[in-house]
Amino acid sequence: MEHAVTRRAAGKAAPTAPRHDIYAFVHKGLRAWMGEVLARVGRTDPDDVAEIATTLDALSALLAFCRSHLAHENDFIHRAMESRRPGSADLTAADHVAHENAIRELEGIMTSVQFAAPGDSADGLQRLYRQLALFVAENLEHMAMEESHNNLALWETHTDAEIREIEHALVAAIPPDAMMAALRWMLPWMNASERATMLGGMRQGMPAEAFRGVLAMIRQHLSADEWRKLTEALRV
């Protein structure tokens, strides 16, 4: 309980500042992705084997991304924080260890659901749903702390140019398939200006064919009005 109170206090520490937020876009995507998968687990038909398999695949993809996301934050963001302010990443680093344990626990429940006898999946799915809800709730609180406490530590010890360098190194370490999964969830849940700015920057550093592939992928997840605004902003 003491750690939870400390984490909540840290999550309120940073004022709004016009500085580069290394967490902003990926956290929008993670919040949307987690909410979608949680709702999907909750509505899965325990008597439909194919539907259960599809749901478990969706959850597996989310958890795999969460695990790699933790590693990237540890390797790039926490390392940068600790290099200039030792101890500043302690709270979120401890959370990351707990998240890794929670992911393994969820994967164990998934295995029990996967190999349950036909018609015996209801209890396992209910347990999975409730455990995932706790995982999502903890992550929402954790992300708020990163956006406040960790951002403040970065802003006080790094320039925006240095923070962008950390971000670029982190992104470069993400495999292409994981990057596409991240973009699928990040881009639809940005606002129109954020989406256009990010894609405009991506266009400058990507082959034309690859950029068209990103646009084709993202178009499926935008409303007609959102797509119109994007094409007008990008002049495509």
pLDDT of residue 5: 43
Q: List pLDDT tens digits, range 104-146.
A: 999 999 999 999 987 889 999 999 999 999 999 999 999 999 9
Q: Average pLDDT, stretch 144-152?
A: 97
Classified by CATH at the fold level, domain 21-173 comes out as Four Helix Bundle (Hemerythrin (Met), subunit A) (1.20.120)
Q: List pLDDT tens digits, range 159-188.
A: 999 999 999 999 999 999 999 999 999 999
CA distance 180 to 183: 5
Domain limits of the chain?
21-173, 190-236
pLDDT of residue 179: 92
Q: List pLDDT tens digits, range 195-216.
A: 999 999 999 988 999 999 999 9
Tokens of 187: 């881009």
Q: How confident is the model at residue 50 (pLDDT cuts 50, 70, 90)?
A: very high
> Percent of the chain beyond pLDDT 90?
89
